[in-house]
Amino acid sequence: MDVVELMKWNRTYRRFKSEPVPHEVIVRAIDSARTANSAANAQVLRYTAVESPDMVERFQPLVKWAASLPPELGTPKPSEQPRAFVVVSQVLRDGEPTPFADVDLGIAAHALTMTAAAVGVGSCMMGAFSRASVERLVELPAGERARLVIALGYPDHASTIEDAPAGADLAYYLDDRHDYHVPKRSLGEVARFL
């Protein structure tokens, strides 16, 4: 698979197989995030991997799935849950986020998920989580704030992107096999070539 095909495969997955994600895969994915581009090379992000089955089970209720779908369709059942989570946190300066930390976060999260995707591990980036509970459960050091959770596992459904006509509804949806379809604005709508 070339990198563009991999980018297209690297969708959001919300139902996973029971097969665990090997520790080495998680280490490699975090290492990609660690070495990604960073504004002023400040490297303010930190990564906490939640891998043990007991911790993963305690983590599961702290995230919220698929705001565009009813819970019975968008929330994984107990047997479909992610097999690991990575909490991406940010070191604060005087209790506040530093400039460009959001940009670093996006770059790092994408590096992590692409590295996982290269070996068939799917992910869901999650901004909707109970921050205080997550920080408590993973014992985040004082002075850090949890910014993003990344759920990981071998996908148990397909997800395909499709060009959305201008003005169309952009909400993702499931077909009768419960595979995801994700409308994307067309190249013509979002890009200008001068």
Query: Which positions touch ligand FMN (CB under 6 A)?
Result: 11-12, 14, 64-66, 124-128, 159, 172, 182
Nearest to ligand FMN of 129, 194 (CB atom)? 129
Which positions ≥6 away from 59 have C-beta within 8 Å? 50, 85, 134, 137
Q: How far is the CB of 97 from ligand FMN (least distance, A)?
A: 15
Q: Cβ of residue 126: shortest distance to ligand FMN, in angstroms?
A: 4
| 48 bridge partner residues | 87
End-to-end CA distance of the chain: 31
Which stretches of 20-61 are DSSP H helices? 23-34, 53-59
Cβ closest to ligand FMN, residue 58 vs residue 64: 64
CB of 194 to ligand FMN, least distance (A): 27
Torsion of CA 62, 178, 106, 137, to 10 degrees: 10
- Cβ contacts of 99 within 8 Å, gap of 6 or more: 39
Task: Decide whether 11 or 38 has the Cβ nearer to ligand FMN.
Answer: 11
Report in angstroms how near the CB of residue 173 gets to ligand FMN at its nearest.
Answer: 10
User: Is the Cβ of residue 91 or residue 182 nearer to ligand FMN in the bound state?
Assistant: 182
What is the distance of C-alpha 79 from the center of its chain?
A: 19
